[in-house]
Amino acid sequence: MLSEELYNYDAEAWAGISNATYLATLNAWLIYNDFKIYEDALLILEEQGQYEACHGIKMAIAFIEDTMANRFDEAESISETDEEIILTHDEHAKVSTLIFQDIMTEIYEKQINQYKKNN
């Protein structure tokens, strides 16, 4: 952030934009889960100086990556190397469903908390 931007810094607005972008990214990822799209959006928003939006996208990507890592660590694999995990079709479907549920629960909880905060 530039020094003159610090004087115009509105913490509440910054948090609002960051949270809105976080939720939008989680919702979008449920529809289209190619991380390249979100990384490209980060580059565009950074060029525009939309740092609060970038923060929200980065938080969402970190949440998704952590959720996926945790769920795949819990999965019962057929075999595993440093580079790949081989799962049965049923186990993969189970893990995918759990990841989807975790992300949906995060979205619901954030929206409920935001609603309670505003009312």
> Can you tell me the distance from the alpha carbon of 95 to that of 14, in angstroms, rounded to the nearest whole number?
34
Tokens 């479907």 belong to 93
Task: Tell me whether residue 62 is exposed, middle or buried, using C-beta atoms within 10 angstroms of its C-beta: 0 to 12, 13 to 18, 19 or more.
Answer: exposed
Per-residue pLDDT, 20 = 93
Dump pLDDT digits (tens) for 48-73: 999 999 999 999 999 999 999 999 88
Residue pair 56/21 in contact by the 8 Å Cβ criterion: yes
> Can you tell me the distance from the alpha carbon of 29 to that of 32, in angstroms, rounded to the nearest whole number?
5
Q: 5: pLDDT confidence band, cut at 50, 70 and 90?
A: low
Per-residue pLDDT, 10 = 62
4-8, 90-94, 114-118, range with the lowest pLDDT: 4-8
Per-residue pLDDT, 3 = 46
Dump pLDDT digits (tens) for 75-114: 887 777 777 878 889 999 999 999 999 999 999 999 999 8
Note the pTM of the prediction, 2 decimals.
0.83
Domain boundaries, the chain: 3-118
Encoded amino acid at 85, one letter: I
